[in-house]
């Protein structure tokens, strides 16, 4: 299992071991499974649907905690009877952010505890040299659909772009997703640069052709928009991927500098 749930399981197992508990991490549990620690006193299952066979098989008289880790709470509990039964069987439910509890039936929310994923900034060793690396990636899932933006009444530039694309296509207007940067530089001072990663929409208008629309700001046209990728579906344009090198004690933040310059026509 090479996915986020595996990393979460290993990380939480380390926390529990540090607290003095004996922990085993496995892909699936069964009553016949042997353990060097003896019978399991409790189970912490990650993902309501994928862990359903283990959740179903675990003795009902022992504590069972089910962690809703993403696709289960935003998609599977609506489509999978197994995922819904996992919610009923669990004595406690863990969600990774407070808004996730709203996806559950009111009667299940009393079982919910929020555990926000975090990492300690306290160093336990002297940093090597003056640099460290942080990998930043963006991942877009299909369940981040435009209806969630309408339901929440808010969203990022990416969410608003996806919502606008869905609306345009519903009206029969060709639309595509654009990923790039928003130029916030001062055109009168070349030393003042700035910008943000950004997402917006292109719609095909008979005559002009593909026209840029930025639903986040209500702007039509490509002024201050720096295109990097134009795709049919958002998941085809990962917004950010890379590494950061700096001091281990540095404040973790990102600043984007965008500088636009004119080039001679070919």
3-state secondary structure labels for all residues of the chain? CCCHHHHHHHHHHHHHHHCCCCCCCCCCCCCCCCCCCCCCCCEEEECCCCCHHHHHHCCCCCCEEEEECCHHHHHHHHHCHHHHHHHHHCCEEEECCHHHHHHCCHHHHCCEEECCCCCCCCCCCCCCCCCEEEEEECCCCCCCCHHHHHHHCCCCHHHHHHHHHHHHHHCCCCEEEEEEEEECCCCCCCCCCEEEEEEEEEEEECCCEEEEEECCCCEECCCCEEEEEEECCHHHCCCCEEEEEECCCCCCCCCEEECCCCCCCC
Q: Per-residue pLDDT for the chain (266 aa), expressed as one digit of tens each?
A: 445 678 788 888 888 999 999 888 888 887 776 556 567 889 999 999 999 999 999 999 999 999 998 778 878 888 889 999 999 999 999 998 888 888 898 999 999 999 887 655 555 666 566 565 555 444 455 555 677 677 777 778 888 898 899 899 888 999 999 998 887 766 565 554 456 778 899 999 999 999 999 998 888 888 788 888 999 888 787 655 556 666 666 666 666 666 666 676 65
Asked whether residue 37 is assigned to any structural domain, the reply reads yes
Final residue in a domain of this structure, among 84, 114, 144: 114
pLDDT on residue 27 = 85
Residues 62 and 144 in one domain: no
Residues 149 and 230 in one domain: yes
Residues 110 and 141 in one domain: no
Residue 23 domain boundaries:
4-114
Asked whether residue 265 is assigned to any structural domain, the reply reads no
Asked whether residue 191 is assigned to any structural domain, the reply reads yes
Nearest 5°: CA angle at 197, between 263 and 244?
100
Asked whether residue 45 is assigned to any structural domain, the reply reads yes
* Residue linked to tokens 């049919």: 232
Residues 63 and 137 in one domain: no
Final residue in a domain of this structure, among 48, 80, 114: 114
Asked whether residue 33 is assigned to any structural domain, the reply reads yes
Residues 89 and 147 in one domain: no
Residues 29 and 141 in one domain: no
Closest CA to 181 of 139, 134, 237: 237
Asked whether residue 73 is assigned to any structural domain, the reply reads yes
CA distance 248 to 68: 31
Residues 31 and 60 in one domain: yes
Asked whether residue 123 is assigned to any structural domain, the reply reads no
Tell me how many domains the chain contains: 2
Q: In CATH, what number is assigned to the domain containing residue 245?
A: 3.10.620.30
Contacts of 54 (CB under 8 A, 6+ apart): 28, 29, 30, 43, 45
Residues 175 and 226 in one domain: yes
Asked whether residue 122 is assigned to any structural domain, the reply reads no
pLDDT on residue 58 = 92
Residues 154 and 196 in one domain: yes
pLDDT on residue 2 = 44
Residues 39 and 104 in one domain: yes
pLDDT on residue 1 = 40
């Amino acid at each position: 299992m090479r996915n986020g749930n595996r990393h979460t399981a290993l990380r939480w197992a380390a926390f529990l071991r540090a607290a003095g508990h004996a922990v085993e991490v496995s892909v699936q549990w069964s009553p016949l499974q042997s353990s060097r620690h003896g019978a399991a006193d409790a189970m912490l299952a990650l993902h309501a649907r994928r862990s359903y066979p283990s959740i179903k098989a675990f003795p009902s008289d022992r504590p069972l905690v089910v962690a809703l880790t993403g696709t289960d709470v935003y998609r599977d509990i609506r489509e999978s009877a197994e995922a819904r039964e996992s919610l009923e069987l669990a004595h406690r439910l863990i969600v990774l952010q407070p808004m996730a509890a709203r996806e559950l039936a009111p009667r299940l929310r009393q079982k919910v505890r929020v555990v926000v994923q975090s990492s300690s900034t306290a160093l336990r060793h002297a940093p090597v040299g003056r640099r460290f690396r942080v990998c930043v990636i963006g991942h877009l899932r299909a369940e981040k659909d435009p209806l969630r933006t309408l339901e929440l009444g808010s969203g990022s530039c990416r969410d608003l772009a996806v919502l606008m694309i869905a609306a345009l296509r519903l009206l029969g207007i060709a639309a595509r997703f654009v990923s790039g940067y928003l130029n916030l530089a001062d055109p009168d001072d070349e030393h003042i640069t700035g910008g943000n990663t950004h997402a917006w929409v292109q719609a095909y208008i008979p005559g002009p052709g593909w026209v840029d629309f930025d639903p986040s700001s209500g702007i039509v046209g490509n002024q201050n928009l720096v295109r990097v990728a134009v795709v049919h579906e958002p998941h085809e344009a990962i917004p950010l991927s890379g590494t950061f090198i700096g001091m281990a004690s540095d404040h973790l933040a990102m600043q984007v500098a965008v500088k636009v310059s004119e080039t001679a026509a070919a």
